[in-house]
Amino acid sequence: MKKRKKIALVAHDNRKPDLIEWVKYNRDILLKHKLVCTGTTGKLVEEVLINDKIIESHELSIKKLKSGPLGGDQQLGALIADGKIDILIFFWDPMSSQPHDVDVKALLRICVLYNVPTAMNRSTADFLISSHLFKGEYQPIVKNYQEYINRSIQ
């Protein structure tokens, strides 16, 4: 990971207000990094950063994917598998079933597989971005799956 991180921001509908509040609180930190968001979350993050007149729209580095239920979670998983995401902040709603629960589970599995720091709530997100490891370059250790790839199939 370089000093400028690629941070994915995701939130289920009932948790979007919490994530937006967290983004406002941490905007100075987040603006130094590249952001990737799923659908509506990306629109809300962009609006709050631009509407607060913190920055001009051309200075904001944010990539918006599809909405989670429409494939955004899978797009994000692909970016993680390709090494294009450094950190995932995912405010998920544990009290509501989601139509794309299997996609969310797959996304979290990919984060574990590729050793991507993942925050599922505000406290963990706060700890993650306030860590001294967040502020500089960091090389996560990713398990070598070559033995699995080269296994013999009978």
User: Could you give the residue numbers annotated as active site?
Assistant: 73
Residue 111 neighbours by CB distance under 10 Å: 20
Provide CB contacts within 8 A for 126, sequence distance 6+. Answer: 22
- CA 94 vs CA 12, 74, 98, 120, 121: distances in Å: 9, 20, 9, 10, 10
H helices of the chain, in order, are: 16-25, 27-30, 39-51, 72-81, 101-113, 122-130, 146-149
Residues in CB range of 72: below 8 A, 6 or more apart = 10, 38, 39, 65, 66
d(CA 27, CA 31): 6
Taking the C-alpha atoms of residue 11 and residue 3, their distance in angstroms, rounded to an integer, is 25
